[in-house]
Homo-oligomer: A and B are copies of this chain.
């Protein structure tokens, strides 16, 4: 079944849209986030650097000064930043950044206990509570993120310091849970997918074994967390462990059929399951992954690739429960969905995975970051109503504008690391084939020898030119949304085979392969099972979902409704380089009364739409995707 022997490719040097996104992350986001972590940015207090310093002091038996500050998973902010920085160094060497990474890595190393344990929260103040609260403690979550950083930094720089810290920490965890057979598994899955990366970077088989162990024991005793809660006298948030589906432990993973619970946890777990299935050829695991994929993408996903519709527990809930205005749709959850898609592509090259990966990236993931890289959304609703969104008790989470940072700062560094490693998602390879999942401009080289330059203005330009430097077999995705697709090779119509949404063809050195995708804006309709969307439509073009904002529509989108007519291209003030759209619409007049027998006047209007990811970049304005 495996289509890719080794996930990832040799190198991707981005240009075009991806290049600009990466440049934004390199030049703005990474330095900004580094300042935040050191409490130099004047935003929400982070204390991450100081947490490491104070943990090291604790280990030396010295005064821990101002102790630990932050969420129980505060360490992961450092790890995600380091991981993003590592990817950045991989594509664009930067001595200053590397030195900053080394400095932070030194702090981290010094905070590691002799036995390999690594977590500032428990090292500074509660050493006796280590490993007693797997449900809420996030120790393995933090380890997992550090493993991802360690693997990435080693791959980017060849430096082993952080990798060795991670291996020592992994060994500590392995000894506890595998060798000594201590019961339990992580409350927030993450370490499993990270162990797979650490295994691949280091070759250490125990990492693979530990990942497999956690996946196999999960949910075998659905009552594990409840018993854990009863056995200790403290909690982080008062969790009782009585809702096992919340952390995907209600059943053994191979028996799970519906995406459930906290959506980031779910996506991270399914990612690891898919990765392990690809690594080991475990068919039963792959079958479970396919079922869970269908559960998400066929019944529980927003058109923007957002998942986890309810604010209560940032969670999946019921099929077709996809409200626009109270959507949670966390940025990190869509990043997790990209991870899951990418690992499913390792198992079977099918465009349904890459289509969703693209949908999530260009819409919800990019929506998480302002166009200037300086503010971030955690929550991505499909409708914002001024005076209600961000204010009403039911809508407190759907802020109309992006804050600079969050106390729970998982999303901003998650976007940064995803953008900086986008080449891994855009391209894949097997021994004889180069896979083009996304249309990411830049120079790409594969371990199998194939090399090409991809030229495109994607996602706005729908033509993609592959100039082949070193030929071989290509598999180019044809997205399901493209109704008119042409592939030409050196100016002639190309002959190719298609399999599950990919065009397979062989190219030679010097060939020019041109993929022309459907650039027509299109209306998209929802299943009537999503009760709130009956009779509504939205507009998409290429991979982009569009929305209306008050900013382009006379100050408000209230009463503005698409009518399904012609759509043309235009531009929008304050969004240079962005293709906006104009669509036939009608505007319902403002009634004087709350309710009336008189049908309100409907006036023909033109709605201006902008890409959803560009929303909320021009001050406080209302917004809607569906109308």
**Which residues on B sit within 8 Å (CB–CB) of A588?**
528, 534-535
Q: Does A311 contact B (CB under 8 A)?
A: yes
Residue of B531, B561, B593 near A534 (CB, 8 A) is B561
Cβ < 8 Å to B, chain A residues 75-95: none
- Chain B's closest residue to A313 (CB) is B393
Instruction: Report A302 CB to chain B, min CB distance, Å.
Output: 9
- Counting chain B CB atoms within 10 Å of each CB, the highest count among A310, A391, A522, A529 belongs to A529
CB-based contact B392/A317 at 8 Å = yes
Q: Are B532 and A558 in contact (CB under 8 A)?
A: no
Q: Determine whether A234 belongs to the interface, using a CB cutoff of 8 Å to chain B.
A: no
Q: Contacts A529-B558, A534-B559, A591-B528 hold; do A522 and B597 have CB atoms under 8 A apart?
A: yes
* Given contacts A312-B393, A394-B312, A595 and B527 within 8 Å (CB-CB): yes
In the assembly, what is the distance between CA of A597 and CA of B526, in Å?
A: 9
B558 & A310 in contact (Cβ 8 Å cutoff): no
A277 to chain B, nearest CB (A): 24
The 8 A CB mask of A559-598 against B (1 = contact, 0 = none) is: 1110010000000000000000000000011110111111
Given contacts A325-B532, A535-B588, A588-B534, contact A595 B526 (CB under 8 A): yes
Determine whether A318 belongs to the interface, using a CB cutoff of 8 Å to chain B.
yes
Mark A582-616 against chain B: 1 for CB-CB distance below 8 A, else 0.
Answer: 00000011110111111110000000000000000
Contact B535 A558, beta carbon cutoff 8 Å:
no
> Smallest CB–CB gap between A259 and chain B, Å?
13
What residues on B are CB-neighbors of A301 within 8 Å? 594
Report A186 CB to chain B, min CB distance, Å.
Answer: 24
Whether a CB of chain B sits under 8 angstroms from the CB of A18 is no
Is the CB–CB distance between B591 and A323 below 8 Å? no
Q: A387-B319, A532-B325 are in contact. Are A590 and B313 (CB under 8 A)?
A: no
Chain B positions within 8 Å of A558 at CB level: 528-529, 531, 534
Pairwise interchain contact A318-B534, C-beta atoms closer than 8 A? no
A405 to B597 Cα, complex, angstroms = 37
| CA of A301 to CA of B597, assembled, Å | 16
Flag A325-341 by CB within 8 Å of B: 1 or 0 each: 11000000000000000
A173–chain B nearest beta-carbon distance, Å? 33
Q: Does A627 contact B (CB under 8 A)?
A: yes
Residues of A at the B interface (CB closer than 8 Å) are 297-299, 301, 303, 310-313, 315, 317-321, 323, 325-326, 383, 385, 387-388, 391-394, 481, 483, 522-532, 534-535, 537, 558-561, 564, 588-591, 593-600, 624, 627
CB<8 Å pairs between A and B, sample of 27:
A317-B392, A318-B387, A318-B388, A319-B387, A321-B387, A321-B392, A323-B394, A326-B326, A326-B394, A383-B531, A394-B394, A483-B597, A524-B596, A525-B596, A525-B597, A526-B591, A526-B594, A527-B595, A528-B558, A528-B588, A528-B590, A529-B558, A534-B559, A534-B588, A535-B627, A537-B599, A564-B599
